[in-house]
Amino acid sequence: MEVKCQVIRPNDARQYRQRSVSVLPRSDSTQYSTSRRYAEYPKASAAPQPPTQLALSPKTYERLAAVKREQDGLRDNVIAEALVMRERQYEELERIQQLREAAVREQREREEVLRQQQMEDFEQMMLEFETRRAIEEEERIAEQVRREAMIESIRESMIRMRDEAVRQRQLEQDRILAEQVEEEARIEEARIQAQAEAEERERIRRERLRECVVCMEEDDMSSMIQSPCAHWYCHEDLQTAFQSALNSRQPFRCCRQDIPVDLYPTLTDGFRERYRLMILELTTPNPVYCSNRACGVFVPPSQYQGPDIAACRACGSTTCRMCRNATHVGICPQDVGMQQAVSLATSNGWRPCPNCNNMVEKSSGCTHMTCRCGGQFCYICGGVWGACRAH
pLDDT at position 368: 78
Q: Residue 252's CB: how many other CB atoms inside 10 A?
A: 20
Distance CA 90, CA 4 (A): 10
In a shared domain, residues 364 and 382: yes
Lowest model confidence (mean pLDDT) among 90-104, 216-230, 293-307, 332-346: 332-346
313 and 367 assigned to the same domain: no
pLDDT tens-digit profile of 39-51? 444 444 444 555 5
pLDDT at 167 over 70: yes
Average pLDDT over residues 339-351: 73
User: SS3 string of 293-362?
Assistant: CCCCCEECHHHEECCCEEECCCCCCEEECCCCCECCCCCCCCCHHHHHHHHHHHHHCCEECCCCCCEECC
Task: Please give the radius of gyration of the chain, using alpha carbons only, rounded to the nearest integer.
Answer: 62
Nearest to 278 by CA among 316, 244, 306, 315: 244
Confidence class for position 333, pLDDT limits 50, 70, 90: low
Q: What's the distance, CA 62 to chain centroid?
A: 84
The pLDDT confidence band at residue 2, using thresholds 50, 70 and 90, is very low
Residue 189 lies in a domain: no
Statement to judge: residues 9 and 99 lie in one domain: yes
Q: What is the pLDDT of residue 337?
A: 66
Tell me whether residue 329 is in a domain: yes
**pLDDT class for 201, splitting at 50, 70, 90?**
confident
Q: What is the pLDDT of residue 35?
A: 43
Considering only 55-59, 134-138, 250-254, which range has the smallest mean pLDDT? 55-59
114 and 9 in one domain?
A: yes
Taking the C-alpha atoms of residue 83 and residue 164, their distance in angstroms, rounded to an integer, is 110
Instruction: Give the pLDDT confidence score for residue 367 in this predicted structure.
Output: 76
Structural element, H or E, at residue 378: strand 376-378
Residue-number span of the structural domain to which 240 is assigned: 224-283
Helix, strand, or coil (residue 159) = helix
Q: What is the Cα–Cα distance from 291 to 375, expressed in whole angstroms? A: 30
Q: Is residue 182 situated within a structural domain?
A: no
Claim to verify: residue 330 and residue 368 sit in the same structural domain: no
Structural domain contains residue 141: no
Quick one: 40 and 16 in the same domain? Answer: yes
Among 197-211, 295-309, 328-342, which is the least confidently predicted range?
A: 328-342
| 390 confidence band (pLDDT: 50, 70, 90) | low
Residue 134 lies in a domain: no
Dihedral Cα 80, 83, 89, 91, nearest 10 deg: -100
Q: Report residue 266 CA to chain centroid gap.
A: 35
**Together in a domain, 71 and 84:** yes
Nearest to 264 by CA among 229, 220, 244, 234: 234
Considering the domain architecture, whether residues 17 and 112 belong to the same structural domain is answered as: yes
pLDDT of 19 > 80? The answer is no
Q: 8 and 99: one domain? A: yes
| CA 264, chain centre distance (Å) | 38
Domain count for the chain, please give it.
4
| pLDDT at 16 exceeding the cut of 50 | no
Please check whether residues 78 and 38 belong to one and the same domain.
Answer: yes
Residue 125 lies in a domain: no
- Encode pLDDT of 30-88 as tens digits: 344 444 444 444 444 444 555 554 566 888 888 888 888 888 888 888 888 889 899 89
Residue 82 CB neighbour total at 10 angstroms: 20
Q: With cut-offs at 50, 70 and 90, classify the pLDDT of residue 391.
A: low
Residues 12, 80, single domain; the answer is yes
What's the DSSP call for residue 198? H
305/381 same-domain check:
no
Give the pLDDT confidence score for residue 214 in this predicted structure.
Answer: 82
297 within domain boundaries: yes
What is the pLDDT, as a whole number, of residue 43? 47
* Backbone torsions φ then ψ of 299, nearest 5 degrees: -105, 110
Q: For residues 63, 65, 66 and 70, what is the CA-based torsion angle, rounded to 10 degrees?
A: 140
Q: What is the pLDDT of residue 100?
A: 92
Q: What is the pTM of this model?
A: 0.37
**3-state secondary structure string across 84-146:** HHHHHHHHHHHHHHHHHHHHHHHHHHHHHHHHHHHHHHHHHHHHHHHHHHHHHHHHHHHHHHH
Q: What is the pLDDT of residue 320?
A: 84
Q: Which of 74, 103, 120 is the last residue before a domain boundary?
A: 120
Residue 53 lies in a domain: no
Distant-in-sequence, close-in-space partners of 365: CB < 8 Å, separation ≥ 6: none
